């Protein structure tokens, strides 16, 4: 088999080193080019010494792309920089996976509301597909440009997708509380990631204004306006829909949102991903942990229809058992999402592409609680990018990504 030729643009940061680490062990690709403007001429292993004797490729300026045969390019670049390269590479034969937030939000207008920069390549939004294979695999297969999700949105969306898609929660009052390791702040030194500010400390940041808020909102709203119980890809969950129908006593094809949809006769055919009738603004607050990597997200939501919460009188022992069944069915063919019987920890997913999810129902408060754990540099960045690449090339989705989590 001829291996696909891959370029990595911007390899001196954490995500750049992670993508090279994963690609160097991938059976279907070869790294044809690694670039750095600041460190051009040096070896990749000079920048990241733990690669010495493993990946000693010389770093080139990004202009080297012009005379290198490539099948796909990863843009491991900051927000506001990637769009310049997507514009520059428009019309080239290779496909692109972009790590930044430059094409995640659906339009340049929304982007400019949340990122302090004018968007220079609005045309890119026509081609961009949101890169979460658990939801968008069919679109990713043919996409020329994949917008790799943010780290916080990956954990939050995977935690909430079954509940939103299956119309099991109310559209109001969703709270997402996330904690991340310090690598989420990037490799450059700053007050945020100084040892004296992080060690023995813990803080919230980006309160009300974190740019991942609108990314999470956008994708969940896309799920909320689809026919109830649908999947974004072509797989269907008939077993799960039947379970919901039995427990909630609603037609599996009808949304419990119908009292809101009645306000708009066109609700079932609307393609507008920002319909406020479907999902109210959610609350997202990130926190910085004194650890190097990992994201633990806790989600709180209210049931939309109360019927299933008493499902214990029927075929389920508790609301938690019912929810766990829903999640296992929803992700049954998704190799990197594991539904756990106990709340996950960061070390259970460390250095891996897995997302572990625990779901429960609190009979005392009436809240659904979902906890997800991912590695922010792997499932939240580089691993997810390789998973997207696998889908784009028709590889097995798990190729190069079956690393067992590192613990302790």
**Domain match, 123 and 166 both:** no
193 and 179 inside one domain: yes
Please state, in angstroms and rounded to a whole number, the distance separating the CA atoms of residues 76 and 14: 9
Tokens 């920089």: give the residue.
Answer: 81
Q: Which residues carry out catalysis? A: 151
In a domain, 116, yes or no: yes
Tallying the residues shown for the chain, one arrives at: 408
pTM for the whole thing?
Answer: 0.89
Low-confidence residues of the chain: pLDDT under 70: 227-278, 305-316
* Contact (CB, 8 A) for 290 and 193: no
Query: Does 253 map to a domain?
Result: yes
The answer to whether residue 306 is domain-embedded is: yes
- Whether 144 and 175 map to the same domain: the answer is no
Examine the domain organization and report whether 159 and 234 are in the same domain.
Answer: yes
* Same-domain pairing of 87 and 227: no
**For residue 153, what are its two tokens?**
């949105």
User: Which CATH number do you get for residue 132?
Assistant: 3.40.50.720
Q: Are residues 92 and 213 in the same domain?
A: no
Q: Is residue 384 within 8 Å of residue 148, measured between CB atoms?
A: yes
**Are 133 and 168 found together in one domain?**
no
With b for 16 or more beta-carbon neighbours within 10 A and e for fewer, the 81-114 pattern comes to: ebbebbeebeeeebbbbbbbbbbbbbebebbeeb
DSSP state of 328: H
Q: Are residues 54 and 179 in the same domain?
A: no
- The verdict on residue 403 lying in a domain is no
In a domain, 404, yes or no: no
**% helix, strand, coil for the chain, step of 5:** 35, 20, 45
Task: Give the CATH number for residue 162.
Answer: 3.30.360.10
pLDDT at 223 (0 to 100): 94
Residue 83 and residue 160 in one domain = no
**What pLDDT shows up at residue 190?**
85
Closest among 215, 223, 218 to 163, alpha carbons compared: 223
Q: Residue 148, exposed/middle/buried by CB under 10 A (0-12, 13-18, 19+)?
A: buried
Residue 364's domain comprises: 152-376
**Residues contacting residue 159 through CB under 8 Å, at least 6 positions apart:** 176, 297, 299, 357, 370, 371, 372
In a domain, 260, yes or no: yes
Claim to verify: residue 89 and residue 73 sit in the same structural domain: yes
Q: Are residues 214 and 85 in the same domain?
A: no
Residues 182, 273 within the same domain: yes
Reported as a single tens digit per residue, the pLDDT across 92-124 is: 999 999 999 999 999 999 999 999 899 999 999
CA distances in angstroms from 80 to 60, 118, 249, listed in the order given: 21, 8, 48
Say if 408 falls within a structural domain.
Answer: no
What is the number of domains present in the chain?
2
Backbone CA torsion sign across 131, 136, 137, 143: negative
Is-contact 104 149, C-beta < 8 A? yes
333 located within any domain: yes
Rg (CA), the chain: 21
Cα dihedral 174→155→184→292 (10° resolution): 120
| pLDDT reported for residue 342 | 98
């Amino acid at each position: 088999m001829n291996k696909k030729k891959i370029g990595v643009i911007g390899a001196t940061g954490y995500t750049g080193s992670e993508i090279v680490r994963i690609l160097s062990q991938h059976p279907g690709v070869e790294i044809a080019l690694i670039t750095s403007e600041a460190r051009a001429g040096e070896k990749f292993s000079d920048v990241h010494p733990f690669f010495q004797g493993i990946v000693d490729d010389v770093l080139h300026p990004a202009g080297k792309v012009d005379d290198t045969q490539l099948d796909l390019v990863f843009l491991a670049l900051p927000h506001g920089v990637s769009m310049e390269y997507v514009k520059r590479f428009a019309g080239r034969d290779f496909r692109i996976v972009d790590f930044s937030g430059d094409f995640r939000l659906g339009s340049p207008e929304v982007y400019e509301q949340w990122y302090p920069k004018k968007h220079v390549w609005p045309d890119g939004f026509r081609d961009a597909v949101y890169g979460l294979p658990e939801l968008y695999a069919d679109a990713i297969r043919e996409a020329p440009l994949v917008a790799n999700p943010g780290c916080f949105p990956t954990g939050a969306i995977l935690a909430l997708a079954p509940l939103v898609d299956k119309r099991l929660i109310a559209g109001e009052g969703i709270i997402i509380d996330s904690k991340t390791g310090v690598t989420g702040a990037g490799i450059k030194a700053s007050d945020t990631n100084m040892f004296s500010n992080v060690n023995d400390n813990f803080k919230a940041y980006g309160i009300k204004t974190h740019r991942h808020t609108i990314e999470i909102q956008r994708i969940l709203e896309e799920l909320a306006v689809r026919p109830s119980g649908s999947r974004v890809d072509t797989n269907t969950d008939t077993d799960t829909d039947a379970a919901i129908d039995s427990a909630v006593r609603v037609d599996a094809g009808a949304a419990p949102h119908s009292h809101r949809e009645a306000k708009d006769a066109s609700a079932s055919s609307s393609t507008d991903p920002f319909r406020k009738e479907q999902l109210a603004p959610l609350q997202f607050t990130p926190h910085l942990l004194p650890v190097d990597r990992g994201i633990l997200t806790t989600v709180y939501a209210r049931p939309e229809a109360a019927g299933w919460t008493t499902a214990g009188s029927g075929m389920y022992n508790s609301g938690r058992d019912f929810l766990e069944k829903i999640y296992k069915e929803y992700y049954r063919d998704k190799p990197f999402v594991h539904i756990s019987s106990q709340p996950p920890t960061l070390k259970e997913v460390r250095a891996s592409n897995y997302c572990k999810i625990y779901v429960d129902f609190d009979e005392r408060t009436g809240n659904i609680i979902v906890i997800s754990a991912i590695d922010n540099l792997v499932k939240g960045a580089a691993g997810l990018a390789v998973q997207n690449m696998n889908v784009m090339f028709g590889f097995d989705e798990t190729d190069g990504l079956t690393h067992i989590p590192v613990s302790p």
